[in-house]
């Protein structure tokens, strides 16, 4: 996903639990966004690929599992 923007000179930042960022925590997002803004002076895009990993066939999932997997976070909270 990042190869094309990087090839065009974009500055990308990726965050996940693997590098200590729990996107469900508003205070964590506040700190991450502030750090990126201090380094770059702006945001051009924020792309959210966060989701819950619940590997099952769709026909085996409950309605709640389907809903949770696509609505697990709202980045609008980060700007509140």
pLDDT tens readout for residues 49-77: 766 566 777 788 887 776 665 555 444 44
Which residue has better confidence, 36 or 56?
36
Q: Which domain holds residue 8?
A: 3-79
| pLDDT above 80 (res 7) | yes
Q: Is the pTM of this model over 0.85?
A: no
| Domains contained in the chain, number | 1
**Burial per residue of 44-59, b for 16 or more beta-carbon CB atoms within 10 angstroms, e otherwise:** eeeeeebeeeeeeeee
**The pLDDT value given to residue 68:** 67
Q: Is the pLDDT of residue 20 over 70?
A: yes
**Other CB atoms within 10 A of residue 21 CB:** 17
């Amino acid at each position: 996903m990042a190869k094309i923007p990087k090839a065009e000179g974009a500055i990308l930042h990726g965050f996940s639990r693997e590098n200590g960022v729990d996107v469900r925590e508003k205070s964590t997002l506040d700190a991450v966004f502030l750090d990126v803004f201090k380094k770059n002076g702006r945001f051009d895009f924020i792309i959210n690929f966060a989701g819950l990993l619940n590997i099952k066939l769709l026909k085996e999932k409950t309605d709640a599992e389907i809903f949770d997997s696509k609505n697990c976070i709202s980045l609008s909270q980060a700007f509140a």
